Structure 1
Amino acid sequence: MTQNAAVKRGKQAGAFLVIGGIAFLVDALVFNLLAFWVTGRGPLYDLPLVAKIIAIVVASVVTYVGNRYWTFGDRRLQRRMSRYALFAVFNLIAIGLQLGCLAFSRYVLGLEGPLADNISGTFIGQALATAFRFFTYDRFVFPHDPPPQR
């Protein structure tokens, strides 16, 4: 990898992390409002996986727009519908990673509440999902397509 390619890759990783940070905040805010509200028991307290799915879907919209137009905005993309399908498939897998962490904490370890749910579902789950998304988005969702030949 050349120095220019390494710098470009570093900038992409930085932009991806900024977008991920914004999405993290959106995910955490929506999840905590749904699961814990202000009183400690939100409307979906007993359904934390449903609350997490809603939070992740909202945050996924943020990540798509941010990554498409900032992180990978310099890439020529063809076959847009297939990109949306790949984005959806990879996000379903990432959702599974986050839900798996939350479900394990809640239903296997018996831990519940704002601290346990946020550590497992929001911090650990989202860290795993973010790493997965970076590699799959870079390679499959937003690859650099060469310019069309005339």
Structure 2
Amino acid sequence: MREFLARHPRIAALAAEVGKFGSVGAIAYVVQVAITNLVWSVTDLSLIAGQVIGTTCAIAVAFVGNRFWTFRDRPGTGLGRETLLFLLMNGVGMLIQVGCLSFAVHVLGLDGPVATNIAGNVVGVGLGTLFRFFAYRTWVFPRRAEDPEPTEAPESRVP
């Protein structure tokens, strides 16, 4: 695998980016699930409200991790612009999650704790994550047109 990645630096760079994105996402996911379930268990708020609160907290964790680690090699386009686009893309991602939860509860009639966690925190988060990765790379933290694509595997670059 290492030889393959050494011969294909663009794939190696993408793999490194996916790994970092996944690590940040895993931390944000733990935050989201913990807070969502905490809200569901200790308040009278709706399932949807709990999902929104948990996801909002995870969005803050994800912004810091992605801006300053995953996509740190990309030129900044302004913190205000990046924050606004990040929030918009996460709003879409949250709608995907809440849509999955709503579909399970209101269409399929599945409102138990296991079903709601699977719908909102597995299916919804999974689909939302695919959208977010594409959106972050494309719109939030884009490469500038004049920036070259990586020509070396990430681990062989000299800082």
Identity %: 35
Quote the offset at 1:110 in angstroms.
1.3
TM superposition outliers: structure 1 runs of 4+ over 4 Å: none
Match of 1:6 among 11, 14, 18: 11
Q: Which residue of 2 aligns with 1:43?
A: 43
Are the counterparts in 2 of residues 15 and 70 from structure 1 also a CA contact under 8 Å?
A: yes
**SS of corresponding position for 1:22:** helix
- Report the number of matched residues: 140
Are the counterparts in 2 of residues 77 and 144 from structure 1 also a CA contact under 8 Å?
A: no
Quote the offset at 1:113 in angstroms.
2.3
Structural mapping, 1:119-130, within 5 Å: 119-130=118-129
The residue type equivalent to 1:43 in the other structure is T
Q: Tell me the TM-score normalized by structure 1.
A: 0.88
**Runs of 5+ consecutive residues of structure 2 not aligned to the other structure:** 1-6, 148-159
Are the counterparts in 2 of residues 101 and 120 from structure 1 also a CA contact under 8 Å?
A: yes
Quote the offset at 1:89 in angstroms.
1.1
**SS of corresponding position for 1:18:** helix
CA-atom RMSD in angstroms = 1.5
Are the counterparts in 2 of residues 102 and 121 from structure 1 also a CA contact under 8 Å?
A: yes
1:137 and 2:142 correspond: no
Query: Which digits, 9 at most, give the CA deviation of each residue in 1:36-72, with x for residues without a partner?
Result: 2xxxxx314x501001000000000111111111110
Q: Which residue of 1 aligns with 2:32?
A: 27
Q: Which residue of 1 aligns with 2:76?
A: 77
Are the counterparts in 2 of residues 106 and 112 from structure 1 also a CA contact under 8 Å?
A: yes
